[in-house]
């Protein structure tokens, strides 16, 4: 089924002005929920890929937020954001994709919860979005990490790795994963994230609370899209 109202590709094809473009890609709550449902197969859904095209999604929020802080926007930033660099065949990405289902079922058993699949959730601006790995109840998102470099590590070793995302058993607040999960909670309006790390030796869960101070980043991300990214999409 066609969703002409939210495709950035289509909005770009009939581009007249920035103002009209931003009117075109706005989404209603009903559309947001419909798209999230229709894209729940994620990688296996053509609509998921189409909805992600030309939008900023939560896995890249950290990159953009640190670029904004430094006020430096190198070409490499845009090639990553515009998907010029394809990740799908990278061993580490493949490892994560291959083990996500296992990680989810081990997490479900450990925490005695049920994870519901979900797709991409757009922000009402239509400019940014987030695809969590699942939902729990009506107030939590789930983010699964199966780190390739730690594939055979004990969980204690993962936590002790200074170069990974943890510090004192918490997510480092300047780490891309922190921005990713805060972005998910903000866009889906949920207050908790189960941040799940899986290795062949076990699974562990960190509960991350929504940080309302983080929300100001949403405005900055949308501004970045309007002032920097759209021009690259048009060129």
Domain assignment present for residue 20? The answer is yes
What are the residues whose beta carbons fall under 8 Å from the beta carbon of 172, sequence distance 6 or more? 165, 166, 178
Instruction: Write the pLDDT tens digit of every residue in 68-79.
Output: 999 999 999 999
Number of domains in the chain: 1
Q: What mean pLDDT comes out for the span 143-152?
A: 97
- How far is it, in rounded angstroms, from Cα 173 to Cα 211? 10
pLDDT at residue 2 is higher than 60: no
In this structure, what DSSP letter does residue 215 have? Answer: G
Tokens of 50: 């189409």
Residue with token string 């479900």? 108
Q: What is the pLDDT of residue 86?
A: 66
Q: Domain range for residue 77?
A: 8-234
Q: What mean pLDDT comes out for the span 170-199?
A: 98
pLDDT at residue 88 is higher than 70: no
Domain assignment present for residue 99? The answer is yes
Q: What is the pLDDT of residue 4?
A: 52
Instruction: Write the pLDDT tens digit of every residue in 213-229.
Output: 999 999 999 999 999 99
Task: Give me the residues paired with residue 205 across strands.
Answer: 196
Instruction: Write the pLDDT tens digit of every residue in 97-106.
Output: 999 999 999 9
Which CATH number goes with the domain that contains 25? 3.90.320.10
Give the rounded percent of residues in the chain with a pLDDT score beyond 90. 88
Report the 10 Å Cβ neighbour count for 158: 21
- How far is it, in rounded angstroms, from Cα 195 to Cα 178? 10
Domain assignment present for residue 3? The answer is no
Report phi then psi at 159, rounded to 5: -65, -30
Tokens of 7: 């495709």
- How far is it, in rounded angstroms, from Cα 186 to Cα 212? 8
Q: What mean pLDDT comes out for the span 33-48?
A: 93
């Amino acid at each position: 089924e066609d969703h002409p109202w939210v495709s950035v590709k289509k909005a770009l094809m009939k581009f007249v002005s920035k103002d009209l473009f931003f009117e075109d890609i706005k989404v209603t709550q009903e559309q947001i929920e419909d798209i999230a449902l229709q894209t729940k197969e994620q990688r296996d859904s053509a609509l998921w890929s189409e909805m992600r095209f030309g939008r900023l999604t939560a896995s890249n929020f950290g990159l953009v937020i640190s670029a904004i802080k430094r006020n430096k926007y190198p070409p490499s930033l845009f090639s990553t954001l515009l998907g010029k660099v394809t990740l799908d065949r990278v061993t580490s990405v493949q490892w994560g994709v291959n083990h996500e289902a296992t990680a989810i079922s081990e997490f479900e058993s450990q925490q005695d919860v049920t994870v519901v699949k979900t797709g991409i959730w757009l922000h009402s601006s239509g400019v940014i979005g987030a695809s969590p790995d699942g939902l729990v109840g009506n107030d939590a998102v789930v983010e699964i990490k199966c780190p390739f470099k730690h594939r055979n590590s004990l969980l204690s070793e993962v936590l002790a790795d200074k170069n990974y995302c943890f510090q004192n058993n918490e997510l480092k607040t300047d780490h891309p994963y922190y921005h990713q999960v805060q972005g998910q909670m903000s866009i889906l309006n949920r207050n908790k994230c189960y941040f799940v790390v899986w290795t062949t030796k076990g699974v562990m869960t960190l509960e991350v609370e929504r940080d309302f101070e983080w929300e100001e980043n949403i405005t900055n991300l949308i501004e970045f899209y309007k002032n920097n990214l759209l021009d690259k999409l048009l060129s």
